[in-house]
Amino acid sequence: MSEYHTIARPYAQAVFELAKDTNDYQSWSDALALLAALAANSQIRELVQNPRIDRTALAQLFEDICGDKLFAQAKSLVRLIIANGRVFSLPNMASQFETMRADAEGTIEAELITAQPVTDAQRLQITESLSQRLGREVSLQVTEDAALIGGAVLRAGDMVIDASAKGRLQKLAANLAR
């Protein structure tokens, strides 16, 4: 929901500023990923939606489940988010934090989906080309999908390059339908 995205933005920005001040992005990434996974759990979702569950007890439950994987500031964030009824914004918060972190570190995650296996030389060439084009260090994840028929789809941030046979056939079908 876009509502959760909007609600998560100021929290993600605040957490990012804390991480930047201490130059400790990884600890926050780990904590937010754990909290986002916890918030997405169906049993936890039921507890959060239950009006009879005390928010202090719910915050304690989160802290107990996470154990020593949460440091003091992350525990404070948990209590704040639960007190303000923002638990379901945690996945968006984690995602927005990772985007801000990537911008700060000059990195970007890219995904290459191909119909055929990619050699190490091709992977290196694609990574270097993307890095040069985007002006960032690129981390490339490669997956195969035979449904593409041929070619590949490349996603990096907001950029999507669909050079797959499947994509071309879909564009052709859409043009013919007009």
Residue type, 136: R
The whole-number pLDDT of residue 3 equals 83
Residue 158 confidence (pLDDT): 82
Give the β-pairing of 137-144 and 107-114: parallel
Distance CA 148, CA 57 (A): 49
pLDDT for res 38: 95
CATH 3.40.50.1370 assigned to 2-102: no
Q: What is the pTM of this model?
A: 0.74
Q: Report pLDDT for 5.
A: 82
Q: What are the boundaries of each domain within the chain?
A: 2-102, 107-177
pLDDT by residue, tens only, the chain of 178 residues: 568 889 999 999 999 999 999 999 999 999 999 999 999 999 999 999 999 999 999 999 999 999 999 999 999 999 999 999 999 999 999 999 999 999 999 999 999 999 999 999 999 999 999 999 999 999 999 999 999 999 999 999 889 999 999 989 999 999 998 8
